Amino acid sequence: MQDAPYTFEVPGPHFVPSHYDNHLERRLSALKGQFADAAAVEAMLAQGDPLLYEVYDFERPHVPGELLHGISIVHPGKVGAEYNMTKGHYHQVLETSEVYYCLKGQGFMVMETPEGEWAVEELHPGRVLYVLPRWAHRTVNTSPNEDVITLFIYPGHSGHDYGTIEQQGFRKLVLEENGVPVIVDNPRWQSPAQRANA
């Protein structure tokens, strides 16, 4: 971990940081239950386990006052009709936010709150997205053959809650229909009231 102010470069076209502490790779098997088309997932896994996205980040203490930061790279592709995407999560400390700056590609950030509000914002190079406290977030790559690359920054004490999204997914899915992205309801999703009565 650095103990003096530091800089790093993110040179195009690949935007891999000039140095970093951690490199995470997430493959389809880690998102198995998240894609709507289970048969398409199984068919793809029978042929291998494709790399869906990568994260490069810097080691900083997980405490208030620090800002965790890095580069997220979602590769292009689809599972059935659904575009490649990240697992997505709430922050464990719900009242923490995140800034994303898109460096490359076309895609969406799919977001929702525990109360069932939802929002989908387009990502394209040069666009900054502020994810408010309480909003779960997932990056989706709708580019035909380009990575979606973002710089992210969030508070050191945020933590991650993946379990809530793993259980029911996001309220909205991004699918390809007739060659264009469409936002549709996730049949697996339940409202807070439905969940309470389940």
Question: Where along the sequence are the contacts to ligand F6R (CB under 6 A)?
Answer: 26, 55, 72, 86-89, 98, 137, 139, 152, 154
Least distance (Å) from Zn ion to the CB of residue 125? 21
Least distance (Å) from ligand F6R to the CB of residue 85? 9
CB nearer ligand F6R, residue 44 or residue 154:
154
- From residue 123, how far is each of 29, 55, 140, 151 by CA, in Å? 26, 17, 9, 12
- Name the residue number minimizing CB distance to Zn ion: 98
Least distance (Å) from Zn ion to the CB of residue 110? 13
| Cβ count within 10 A of residue 192 | 11
List phi, psi (to 5°) of 151: -95, 130
Residues in region 96-155 near Zn ion by CB under 5 A: 98
Residue 139 touches which member of Zn ion, ligand F6R, none, C-beta under 5-8 Å by kind: ligand F6R
Burial degree of 169 (CB within 10 A; 0-12, 13-18, 19+) = buried
Question: How many angstroms from the chain centroid is the CA of residue 75?
Answer: 11
CB nearer ligand F6R, residue 15 or residue 154:
154
